[in-house]
Chains A and B, each alone.
Chain A
Amino acid sequence: MVIYERLRDALAAQRPVVLATIIEGIPIGAKLLIEPGAAPLGSLGDANLDRVVARDALGELAAGITSTRHYGQRGEARERDVTVFIESFAPPPRMIIFGAVDFTAALARVAKLLGYHVTVCDARPVFATTARFPMADVVVNDWPDRFLASVADPLSPRDAVCVLTHDTKFDVPAIMSSLSTDVGYLGAMGSRTTHEKRLQRLREAGASLDQLARVRSPIGLDLGGRTPEETAVSICAEIIGLRTGRAGAPLTTGDGPIHNQDG
């Protein structure tokens, strides 16, 4: 049970890990566990197949993909002796919420429901406390730009930033520093008037038109909700729709497939 136990420990520690299993071909059920920076554990029955699968597994892990692939018995491409299920366990995506306001707690709760690792960041220590945000994984007292510069792993397309401060002295550095990452979702709260003023400030701070197009503001889908909880659902619904490329219309009025093929 050494492979299972190492998988269990990696999952518990939220370390990225990949489990490769031969699901068709010989030896059926054979396993290889791959962790970045460590020697693979187990074998698929051939050293060369192990090497090729480990390489492919690290690529899939980086992209957060789980899939099946075919290989020759010795890892040859374009052959189909064995089918290997390559299951990636990427660490949870991150949501950074700037601003410890009324809406923050509700958004942090909904984001946790969706599996995000949630950080609440606000420069004002009176507001950003773990007592107010017990559901957040991390509560940080810092300026947005300084905090983002200190994040070890740069934000990726799987991650989300929500700027709820609607105070330009925090908003502008939070958005400008997020724009320099590959973050997949960048939303900023505020009315349409606030949004117009903020766009002006961002342009003055040097944001290009392409960069401004990445900012989702006013934040969220148009559901007409008002409470912090309804707003949190609207924001998270927009995040999901942006990831899947869907507009967020009722399925009743559509006619295409409900799920994308890539999940």
Chain B
Amino acid sequence: MKDVIIDIERWRVSGRRIAVARVVATEGSSPRGAGAAMVVNDVGEVAGSVSGGCVEGAVVAAATEVLDGTRAPGVITFGYSDDDAFAVGLTCGGTIHLFVEELAW
């Protein structure tokens, strides 16, 4: 989260609600390790990254749903081994697990 604090602070000043997606675990080959973070605000601005660019779009969608209240905070998984309908393949062939929640703590 260290890399996105500056963006969070800017958004907080302007009264934005913010969702945070953090990589909590990875399997196989994946470019960003546990702790990599992305933040999305309620007007769709984005900062940070959680992969080599493969899943960022899907993470923004999930984060926006968390802010809308249409998705509960929780773990989402991306990768070939995933059979969830939300699955997006990673070019690197690995699997990443992210925890997505609103920054309200």
**B33 / chain A contacts, CB cutoff of 8 Å:** 66, 263
**A89 / chain B contacts, CB cutoff of 8 Å:** 2
Check B99 against A21 for contact (C-beta < 8 Å). yes
Of the stretches B21-29, B40-48, B53-61, B80-88, the one at the interface is B21-29
Shortest Cβ distance from residue A246 to the other chain B in the assembled complex, whole angstroms: 14
Known: A21-B99, A29-B105, A42-B105. Contact between A68 and B25, CB under 8 A?
yes
Shortest Cβ distance from residue B84 to the other chain A in the assembled complex, whole angstroms: 15
Per-position 1/0 for B2-30, Cβ under 8 A of A:
10010011001000000000101111111
Q: Which of B78-105 contact A (CB under 8 A)?
A: 99, 101, 103-105
Known: A8-B9, A24-B75. Contact between A67 and B34, CB under 8 A?
yes
Q: How far is the CA of A24 from the CA of B72 in the complex (A)?
A: 12
Check A1 against B105 for contact (C-beta < 8 Å). yes
Main secondary structure on A side of the interface with B:
mixed
Check A66 against B105 for contact (C-beta < 8 Å). no
Q: Tell me if A77 is interfacial: C-beta within 8 Å of chain B.
A: no
Known: A66-B34, A259-B29. Contact between A29 and B101, CB under 8 A?
yes
Shortest Cβ distance from residue A56 to the other chain B in the assembled complex, whole angstroms: 15
Instruction: Please pick, from A7, A68, A261, A263, the residue contacting B1 in the complex, using a CB distance under 8 A.
Output: A7
**A85 / chain B contacts, CB cutoff of 8 Å:** 22, 24, 34, 99
Check B30 against A8 for contact (C-beta < 8 Å). no
Check B101 against A259 for contact (C-beta < 8 Å). no
**A29 / chain B contacts, CB cutoff of 8 Å:** 73, 101, 105
Known: A28-B74, A67-B34, A87-B34. Contact between A257 and B1, CB under 8 A?
no
Check A23 against B2 for contact (C-beta < 8 Å). no
Per-position 1/0 for A79-95, Cβ under 8 A of B:
00001010101000000
Check A257 against B29 for contact (C-beta < 8 Å). yes
Q: How far is the CA of A4 from the CA of B105 in the complex (A)?
A: 6
Per-position 1/0 for A4-19, Cβ under 8 A of B:
1001100110000001
Could you name 22 residue pairs across A and B whose Cβ atoms are closer than 8 Å?
A1-B105, A4-B8, A4-B105, A7-B1, A8-B5, A11-B1, A12-B5, A23-B75, A23-B99, A24-B74, A28-B73, A29-B73, A29-B101, A31-B105, A42-B105, A66-B33, A66-B34, A85-B34, A87-B35, A89-B2, A259-B29, A263-B26
Q: Which residues of B contact A (CB under 8 A)?
A: 1-2, 5, 8-9, 12, 22, 24-31, 33-35, 72-75, 99, 101, 103-105
Q: Which residues of A contact B (CB under 8 A)?
A: 1, 3-4, 7-8, 11-12, 19, 21, 23-24, 28-29, 31, 42, 66-68, 83, 85, 87, 89, 257-259, 261, 263
